[in-house]
Amino acid sequence: MYVYVNSGLVRKEDARVSVFDHGFLYGDGIYETMRVYEGVVFMIDEHFARLQRSADLIKLAIVKDANQLKAALYETLAANSLKGAYVRITVSRGYGPIGLDPDLCKEATLVIIAEDMKDYPKSYYEKGIQVIIARTKRNLSEALNPQIKSLNFLNNILAKMEAKEKDAYESLMLNVLGHITEGTISNVFFYRDGVLCTPSTACGILDGITRQVILTLAVREGFTVKEGKFTVEDIAAAQEVFLTNTTMEVMPVNRVDEIRYDVGEVARTLRKAYRNEVRAYVAAIKGRGPSLWGYE
């Protein structure tokens, strides 16, 4: 396995980041996770735009521009002979003396990891997964802007620990006002009385790229969609619940705490529509012919 570190590929066992890197010391950095289908990175421009937004919000200079990042990403995929994969790009503040001042770091650290994408068990999509409402609250937006896809994931990790303690797959977190926000690694949707609902960005969520694709597809499929502020009582009264993110795509939920849900037609319809969208995207990219970034 090869990993891209700063300016080139190295073997996995030789991939190193300094203990003085501020990503390690302070969680000072950003990342994006992408999924690769048939050798094509899905929604790559949208992911890179969000990476740049995160960088701008923490005043971090990424060492490569978008085209250079694309070339590095596809180089990593090619070196590992991957066609179906997930890719994580991490950019930290970089090496520097101990201290919080960002100016201590002269150049950002870049790491690209690409690994084979093993699909989730079919039973998850057929029967759904279990979710809990975590005691851990989502970070205040005024304390940490949720539009920053930050390396500091302790808030999410604490909520994930709660899920594991209850043999659940995922936790949903509330904000301090009691509104549903998102999961530890996912956005949440629920279908209630003919309306597809999802928390708005005003609740303090990361605007997931898969979430946005689903919102667009839902309208296209004829669903009434509402982004808003919702409580646990709202989701308890739903007929269907599902989660979205880059790797799981559309994942049905069969239980939130003690409330059970059927895996219904809304989730099935949107999962099918999403997969069709992926196929169309891949076909369009491949239709352009071979490129600098390794399309075949």
pLDDT in tens, 130-148: 999 999 999 999 999 999 9
Give 209's strand partners: none
* First CA to last CA distance, the chain: 21
- State pLDDT tens for residues 261-273: 999 999 999 999 9
CA dist 57 and 73 (Å) reads 23
CATH number of the structural domain spanning residue 213? 3.20.10.10
CATH number of the structural domain spanning residue 82? 3.30.470.10
Structure confidence at residue 129 as a pLDDT band (50, 70, 90): very high
pLDDT at 296: 47
What is the reported pTM? 0.94
Task: Kindly report the average pLDDT of the chain as a whole number.
Answer: 95
266, 155: one domain: yes
- State pLDDT tens for residues 36-68: 999 999 999 999 999 999 999 999 999 999 999
> CB–CB of 155/136 below 8 Å?
yes
Q: Which residue range forms the structural domain that includes residue 98?
A: 2-116
CA dist 147 and 61 (Å) reads 17
pLDDT at 52: 97
DSSP 8-class letter at 18: -
Q: Give the mean pLDDT of 229-256.
A: 98
- Where is the domain boundary, 89, 116, 143? 116
253, 139: one domain: yes
pLDDT at 6: 96
- Where is the domain boundary, 116, 135, 155? 116
CA dist 130 and 163 (Å) reads 9
pLDDT higher than 80, residue 34: yes
159, 15: one domain: no
Q: Structure tokens of 148?
A: 């920053």
Catalytic residue among 122, 137, 149, 229: 149
User: Total domain count for the chain?
Assistant: 2
CA dist 265 and 180 (Å) reads 23
Let me know if 235 is exposed, middle or buried by CB neighbors in 10 A (0-12, 13-18, 19+).
buried
pLDDT at 10: 98
pLDDT higher than 80, residue 241: yes
Q: Is residue 219 part of a domain?
A: yes
CA dist 77 and 59 (Å) reads 29
73, 140: one domain: no
CA dist 61 and 54 (Å) reads 10
pLDDT at 288: 81
Residues 80, 84, 90: CA angle, nearest 5 degrees: 65
pLDDT at 104: 98
Residue 30 host element (H or E): strand 29-37
Structure confidence at residue 289 as a pLDDT band (50, 70, 90): low
122 in catalytic set: no
Q: Give the rounded percent of residues in the chain with a pLDDT score beyond 70.
A: 97
Kind of pairing between the strands at 40-41 and 2-5: unpaired
Non-local (6+) Cβ contacts of 25 within 8 A are: 19, 98
